Amino acid sequence: MATPDLDPLLLFRQAIAAGGKPTPTTSPTSDEEVPLAQATHLVFVHPTRVAIPIDTQTRFLSAQGKQVGLRSIYFTWINRDITIPAYNAAAEKLNEEMAGTAAVHSCSFVERLNLVTWLEGAGDETEFIKPLAGDKDAAAASGGSGAVTKTVTTASRSGRGTLDPRLAQIYDGERRMGDRNSVLRGIKPTDFSHIRKQAAQFMTRKPGQAAAPSSMPGGPTNNPSLPINSKPVRRPDPIILLSQSASSLLRMSNAKTFLEGGRYAPPETLNAPVHMLHIQRSIKEMDPNRPVRFILVDQTENFKPEYWNRVVAVFTTGQAWQFKNYKWSNPTELFKHVQGIYLGWRGEQPPESVRGFGHRVLTCSVEKWRDPGAPGAETSRWRDREVVETIWKAIEGNMRAKGWRRDAAPREI
């Protein structure tokens, strides 16, 4: 078992807390990052530089009780934000690249949730991580009938190094409250949506209805809707739909660079995309304190009905098959509810179908892509930022018209 100072999981957690992440390298003395399939070591630089073989087994145990290697831990962390199908596909691709020399463990949803939560420092208790050897010794030193309880106490602090035996005895006298994973979720996610329907009749009040006075001094009120100290509801993230067409200039692989960075690059020059991305945009009129997060997707098969009320823009190439699975499959009806955007090359006419959509679809053009090595290629990209701002101006105007606010989203568009 690794010591607390060289424990891979603890070093990983400390690196994330310091705002960084370890680097996969081909030797313990190198600092050059290489693809994960070629890496032999993982280099940590906080609190001191430490290189650990990437195939080292960690204290993280799978649901089947098998140790998970450091390569799998790193792979799960860097892919923490992608969907489950995309995560499994990335694991299969990595295993093919390593050609049988090693294999990454594809974590289940619960394993992934517990690992990411622990690494981020959001929780210290997880059944998947074994305590450090020093923690076990601290629990055993307490002795007596409370040995089992002491083991649980020190195990729950396994991410913080060894624990003094006397301090462990003091902790044993505390009432254990648990965290949201252990209290609400247990070992698998639980759906509590049915509780909302049952509680709705007690928590809502019709618009304009005031609380009824008491029927007698000190008696209960006649209004069944009693005031409740409820927390403000978090505004959902607005959604932007992209086209999956191969002829589209803006796809998942280059949308973040263009919409967030203000620079256009063709999809073919970038890595293979996922089906969901997050980008941020500062909209002072909506939220002056923090940027608004947008969700970019190019598939609607898994859309819930309420998701359509969050759609603020649809990028289109004018091809009718794009709208087949949309709530409004007729483009004319769709663009009555949502801002349409067409992105084409400067100097070329948009397709006839796009022109037929009329003013409900914003037509924008970017300079044609030129090889970065060609003379004057960089100077032709200065207009990209202007095009991006035009697109955002249309999206933000549509959002204001539909009722998007700092703490609220429209219930229907």
Taking 80 as the threshold, does the pLDDT of residue 44 lie above it? yes
Kindly report, as residue ranges, where domains of CATH 3.40.50.11990 are found in the chain.
239-402
Pairing type for strands 276-281 and 57-61 reads unpaired
The three-state DSSP-derived secondary structure of 8-75 is: HHHHHHHHHHCCCCCEEECCCCCCCCCCCCCCCEEEECCCCCEEEECCCEEEEECCCCCEEEHHHHHH
Q: Judge whether residue 396 has pLDDT over 90.
A: yes
Condensed to tens digits (0 to 9), the pLDDT of residues 347-393 reads 999 999 999 888 889 999 998 888 776 666 666 788 899 999 999 99
Residue 270: pLDDT over 60: no
CATH topology for 239-402 is Rossmann fold (3.40.50)
- Residue 197 phi/psi, 5° resolution? -65, -40
- Structure confidence by residue, pLDDT tens digits, 64-94: 888 999 999 999 989 988 888 899 999 999 9
**Of the candidate ranges 150-159, 284-293, 342-351, the one whose mean pLDDT is the lowest:** 150-159
User: How do residues 168-215 score in pLDDT, each as one tens digit?
Assistant: 777 777 766 666 656 665 555 667 777 887 787 777 655 555 544 444
Residue 160 has pLDDT above 50, yes or no: no
Is the pLDDT higher at 234 or at 294? 294
Q: Once rounded to an integer, what is the mean pLDDT over residues 327-353?
A: 92
